[in-house]
Amino acid sequence: RFDFFFFQAEDGIRDAQESRGLGDVYKRQIFLPACNSPKVNRDYLIDIFIALFRVSSDLAMTMSHQLGTLFLKLLLTEKKTVLLHFLQQYCVFQDSLELAKIFAELGTNYDDPNVEQELNEQKTPLIALAQSIYYKPALQLALDMFFRLRRADEMIHYLLKNGDVYTAISIINKYKIKSVDLQRLCKAAEKPNSTLHISQVMEFVNNYSKS
């Protein structure tokens, strides 16, 4: 799950405080009907969402998970990728594995034939929506979030998926990852978009197998 936190600069940066929840009533009575209505201007609706989040920060309130999910779905549906990028960097979303995966899928170009396609993948509606859009900077946002969450396995997964074998191996070495799918590593290195030559990868695989 993920929640929204807005930080307001006063004599520095004020820590987000989670006190009273806000959003279930707003979702049921206001935002859900508005999002489902074709008569409501989407840009206007996004502005209302942002205004509500800012006010809730001043009142030391936290947006509900349901309302945050509804807003994220709206941004993805309307392809507001730059705004989503801004909100992630400056507003801020609370880190979560779910959100990191959404950013990672958003930053993966599935129109590129070299990108690894995962069969029988379990997709949430937001993951499926993110896969239909391509916004390259989102991949780095995802990698940064995976790092903060200490999920090196997810970093390696998406780096190989996008052909960045060099960085994947660097992470394996740096964090001494013991469980690595060497077959998948070699397969990623054979693709034209690989950032490392197959001979270099085979050398790493041989050394890794001996360790």
Q: b vs e for 143-159, b when ≥16 Cβ sit within 10 Å of the residue's Cβ? A: bbbbeeeebbebbbbbb
Q: What is the pLDDT of residues 148-201, one digit of tens each?
A: 999 999 999 999 999 999 999 999 999 999 889 999 999 999 999 999 999 999
Q: What is the pLDDT of residues 65-103, one digit of tens each?
A: 788 888 999 999 999 999 999 988 876 578 899 999 999
Rounded distance, CA 211 to CA 205, Å?
A: 10
Contact of 12 with 49, CB cutoff 8 Å:
no
Mean pLDDT, the chain, whole residue set: 84
Instruction: Give the global pTM.
Output: 0.82
pLDDT of residue 120: 61
